Amino acid sequence: MFAVLTSYKLISMPSPTPYRVILESTGLAWLMLLTTNPAFAQIPKPTDAPKPLAPEQSAAAFKLPPGFRMEIVVSEPLIASPSGVCWDERGRMFVSELHGYNLAGQLDIEELNKTGKLDTQVRRVQADEKFKRAAKAGTFGVVKWLRDTNGDGRMDAADVWATNLPPIYGLVPARGGIIVACAPDIVFLADRDGDGKAETRDVLFTGFPTGELERGINAPQWGADGWIYFGRGWGGGIITGPHLAAPVELPGSDFRIRPDGSAIEPVTGATHTFGFAMTESGDRFTVTTTVPGIFIAPLPWYYLARNPDAATPSLEIATGDRRAYSISKPHPWRQKRADDPAYFKYYNSRYGAAESEATGWFTAACGPMVYQDRALPGLRGQYFVCEPAGNLIHRAVIEADGSALTIHRASGEEKSEFAASTDAWSHPMNLTHGPDGSIWITDYYREIIEDYSAIPRHLQQQYGVYAGHDRGRIYRLTHHDAPPVPAADMSGLDTQALARECASPLFWRRQTAQRLLVERGGNPLIPAFSPDGREGARRAVEGEVHGANVLQEAKKILRELLADKNAEPSAVIIALRTLDQLGALTPSDVRPFISHADAAVRIHALQLADHWFAKDEGRALLDATLTAAAAELSRCLPGSSASGSACAGWTPLSCLRCTGVAWKCSAPSCASRAAPRPSSRRSRKPSPRAGMNPNSPARSTSSPPPSRTRGPPCSMRSPGAARTRRASRSLTNPRGLPSRLSLRALSPESAPRRARWRTPSSRLWRTRNRWCRQASYRPSNKSAKGRSGNSSRLWRGRAT
């Protein structure tokens, strides 16, 4: 029996039955038991379906490099359908849960099974709308607080900290609470009364689109700049919030927010599925289901918005290797689909070998991370990405390729994976830095992880698509030589101790120390005084004075860290960024790091230096920057006479990895030079067709016009192996900066008619449409809803 209510409140979902939803409506309790219908017995249940393993067995099923081990931290019944994990400053572990995945498909086939007939028609079909509506009752999010009560390293108690939320796609600590991504909202949760429940629930932003459950806004992560970054999921929308001055219209790009909800803005690039990774320099990698790594051009959105004539970069596929070397036996439905000639032809003609073959390809890449700790030997700076459909975790080495970053398999793993499991129910889908420096792995443990629509319907009818929805595992990847770590609770550290923690070798401690210093800000101490009376006022003033002195001590410690010639680059970056967010950074703090030996430090320093370039106090800083840029260009052009300030003035936009900032220069000596031409080739995701080797070198389909001058090597994308490119027309904007599309042309004010956008090149049209989604942005007000004409559609990034 199915019950669809127009108004309900979800109370709980614990049940030994396949699924049970308790609803409360108009004072009455409704019980909806979606159990297996007797007619289901008419469809024979296959005997070859894989069986789940015990948690300890599942952890032991991973094949790892020597010295590494996988430990189970928590499993069902304490958690179910986990989607992410984080720790607050007290070291408390929180897990988000995402319930309802594939539920609509299960309801659909249970109704179909009442007929007793198998649907063998070759097609890909979604569940009926009535079952999608019914599934919403069982689609929700939960945050749990997990505890280790006996100190054995394994969680043995779980409290529901927050429930009745939309499905949660990730969480991050902030302001003494937790911020969760749960489309259509971003919500701040906090327990202010100490009862173990989050009674504070502040919707910071709302208006994000919803659709397929796995494509919501996702993977919130702190950046070193004090913003929280999100993957776009479905992307775009008019976003409102109680702390915003006006609604903001986002394009279809990733975005970032202020933790207090006071600001939201787009960032370059887009996460199409789940998760993205950030490097120490602030570069980002995203993924698609079949591409395990996409490098986002290192040109921040705010530079693009500030300079409408800037050349528009493109996303670069960081690797052409899309093979996944699973050691588990593929689920029988996958093998049967591959063995069926009709289905093989259907899927191969539409999706290529990745979908038509039983195994061997990335089909669900998600949850990437760049490991920035030192606890696990040999992994620092390496790139990891989950492939839940293949029951594995892939490792890659990051290398610079001119101004881009590429990834390739680690030595010794050319035909294997870093971590692969023989347990077909194990589906790693998210990776997180733990307080101890280990990698914590969220396992969406269940029989089938694939979207139900990808499975032939007659196989859905036999195997089902919802088994294991009440299960979930979280593992800790550690090493025999991992050093002991201090207690995770940092809430009791004073401000000076937090400043020293900015130099910690552990990523979580550095990040938490920075966050707490900034959150304490000008109030590093909370004076113990009564708010009433003269004595209370006197003690309040004394507390503020003492607090200011303590903050000065913290700033002094951070500057001592900057003065340490042996300081690690990660510590220097955190110290610079923390001083900046405390409002204490000066040009003299930044200047020594403009020419630092580490590229990540240079990039952060140059981005911070931009604050003062237009001010008198920044003149010396600007001179130092131009000198460093000239030296960098000289290194890019061996034997070149490029030196001095005249050359540095035309630092190309595509040399952002060298200079860190976008430049506009109107000096005659600069304008007269032929601007270095960025690559006019746009990356294309090649579908791995049958018989195609994705590791073979791809042809470059474009060559520079003879009348153009090639720029320095760092401004070019090399046409190396495993990279497929598409030719696109190169335009030159009025300033002489080469670009695919001038951002000025992306303004609806300057191009109110569609004819201005269209060109004979359909490839160029698609390029325009992509960058309208990724780079265009403007605040809007509620009356914008009534905008007419082409411009409103263009700002939404739609091809009209």
Residue 794: what pLDDT? Answer: 22
Q: End-to-end distance of the chain based on CA atoms, in angstroms?
A: 44
Which residues lie closer than 8 Å to 639 by C-beta, 6 or more apart? none
Residue 586: what pLDDT? Answer: 93
Task: Count CB atoms within 10 A of the CB of residue 18.
Answer: 16
Task: Over range 179-193, report the average pLDDT.
Answer: 97
Q: Report the candidate in 338, 365, 332, 335 with the shortest Cα–Cα distance to residue 352.
A: 338
* Alpha carbon distance 665, 154 (integer Å): 59
Q: Where are the alpha helices (DSSP H) in 274-375?
A: 301-306, 332-339, 341-351, 353-356
* Alpha carbon distance 333, 359 (integer Å): 11
Radius of gyration in angstroms for the set of CA atoms belonging to the chain, rounded to a whole number: 27
Helix (H), strand (E) at residue 622 = helix 619-636
For 726-745, the pLDDT digits (tens) are 222 222 222 222 233 222 22
Residue 214: what pLDDT? Answer: 82
The percentage of the chain sitting over the pLDDT mark of 90, rounded to a whole number, equals: 58
* Alpha carbon distance 659, 138 (integer Å): 51
Q: Where are the alpha helices (DSSP H) in 502-532?
A: 507-520
| DSSP for residue 654 | G
Using an 8 Å Cβ cutoff, are 355 and 450 in contact?
Answer: no
Using an 8 Å Cβ cutoff, are 303 and 606 in contact?
Answer: no
Q: What does the domain layout of the chain look like in residue ranges?
A: 522-574, 583-666
Residue 751: what pLDDT? Answer: 31
Per the omega criterion (within 30 degrees of 0), is the bond before 184 cis?
Answer: yes
Using an 8 Å Cβ cutoff, are 452 and 132 in contact?
Answer: no
For 37-58, the pLDDT digits (tens) are 444 447 888 999 999 999 999 9
Task: Over range 390-400, report the average pLDDT.
Answer: 96
Per DSSP, the three-state class of 586 is coil
Q: Quick one: how far is CA 484 from the chain centroid?
A: 29
| 3-class SS letters over 678-698 | CCCEEECCCCCCCCCCCCCCC
For 763-774, the pLDDT digits (tens) are 322 333 343 333
Selected residue with higher pLDDT from 379 and 307 = 379
Which residues lie closer than 8 Å to 664 by C-beta, 6 or more apart? 307, 309, 735
* Alpha carbon distance 54, 64 (integer Å): 19
